[in-house]
Amino acid sequence: MEVARHLGEQGFAVNFHYLGAQFDETDQVRRVVNEHLTLLDALTAENFNAGVALQLSLLGLGISESLATENLLLIARKAAESGRRVRIDMESAEWTARILDVVRRASRESPNIGTVVQAFLKRSNEDIDKLNQEKIPVVLVKGSHLEPQEGAFKDPEEIALFFMRLIETLMRDGSSPAIATHDEKLIEFAIDIAFIFGLDQADYEFQMLFGIRNDLAEKLLADGYRVRITLPYGDNWYPYFMRRLAERPINLWRLLRDSRREVLKDPLPES
Backbone region of residue 144 per phi and psi (left: phi > 0; alpha: psi in -120 to 50; beta: other values): alpha
Residue 82 domain flag? yes
- What confidence tier does 269 reach under pLDDT thresholds 50, 70, 90? very low
pLDDT digits (tens, 9 = 90+) for 156-182: 999 999 999 999 999 999 999 999 999
Look at residue 47 in the predicted model and tell me its pLDDT: 87
Look at residue 162 in the predicted model and tell me its pLDDT: 97
Residue 104 domain flag? yes
3-class state of residue 205 by DSSP: strand
- Other beta carbons within 10 angstroms of residue 177's beta carbon come to 27
Residue 270 domain flag? no
pLDDT digits (tens, 9 = 90+) for 71-106: 999 999 999 999 999 999 999 888 999 999 999 999
Q: For residue 229, give every residue at least 6 positions away whose Cβ sits within 8 Å of its Cβ, in sequence order, or none.
A: 7, 12, 13, 14, 15, 207, 208, 209, 210, 217
Residue 130 domain flag? yes
Residue 150 domain flag? yes
- Mean pLDDT, the chain, rounded, equals 88
- Assign residue 38 the CATH number of its domain: 3.20.20.220
Structural domain that includes position 250: 2-264
pLDDT digits (tens, 9 = 90+) for 113-148: 999 999 999 999 999 999 999 999 999 999 865 666
- Number of independent structural domains in the chain: 1
**pTM of the predicted structure, to 2 decimals:** 0.87
Look at residue 257 in the predicted model and tell me its pLDDT: 60
Residue 249 domain flag? yes
Residue 80 domain flag? yes
Please state, in angstroms and rounded to a whole number, the distance separating the CA atoms of residues 105 and 186. Answer: 31
Residue 21 domain flag? yes
pLDDT digits (tens, 9 = 90+) for 208-264: 999 889 999 999 999 999 999 999 998 766 556 555 555 555 556 555 665 555 545
